[in-house]
Amino acid sequence: MEYGQFCPISKACEVLGEKWTILILRELLMGSTRFNELQRGLSLISPTLLSKRLDFLTAHGLVMKKKIPGQKGFEYFPTQSCMELLPIIQSMGEWGLRWATSSLTQKDYDIELLMLYLQRSIQVDKLPGKETVIRFNFTDVKKFPDWWLVVSGDKVDACTKDPGKDVDVYFTTTIKIMVEIWMGNTTYRQAQKDGVIKIVGNPQLTSNVTSWMANSVYADLRPASEI
- CA 139, CA 155: separation in Å to the nearest integer? 27
Neighbours of 136 (CB within 10 A): 22
- CA 34, CA 43: separation in Å to the nearest integer? 14
* pLDDT value for 222: 86
CATH architecture of the domain with residue range 8-84: Orthogonal Bundle (1.10)
Closest CA to 180 of 108, 86, 88: 108
Three-class secondary structure of residue 94 per DSSP: helix
Q: Which residues contact 183 (CB under 8 A, 6 or more apart)?
A: 97, 215, 216, 218, 219
Share of the chain above pLDDT 70, in %: 100
Query: Which residues in the chain are classed under CATH 1.10.10.10?
Result: 8-84
- Give residue 193's pLDDT band: very low, low, confident or very high (50, 70, 90): very high
* One-character DSSP codes across 27-93: HHHTT--BHHHHHHHSTTS-HHHHHHHHHHHHHTTSEEEEEPTTSS-EEEEE-HHHHTTHHHHHHHH
Look at residue 66 and tell me whether its pLDDT is greater than 90: yes
CA 78 from centroid of its chain's CA atoms: 17
CATH architecture of the domain with residue range 106-211: 2-Layer Sandwich (3.30)
* pLDDT value for 31: 94
* pLDDT value for 50: 97
- Give residue 58's pLDDT band: very low, low, confident or very high (50, 70, 90): very high
- Give residue 224's pLDDT band: very low, low, confident or very high (50, 70, 90): confident
The mean of the pLDDT values for the chain is 95
What's this model's pTM, rounded to 2 decimal places? 0.90
Look at residue 225 and tell me whether its pLDDT is greater than 90: no
What element of type H or E holds 182?
Answer: helix 175-182
Q: Are strands 169-173 and 131-138 parallel, antiparallel or unpaired?
A: parallel
Residue pair 185/59 in contact (Cβ under 8 Å)? The answer is: no
Closest CA to 125 of 188, 202, 27, 214: 214
* pLDDT value for 208: 94
Query: Which residues in the chain are classed under CATH 3.30.1050.10?
Result: 106-211
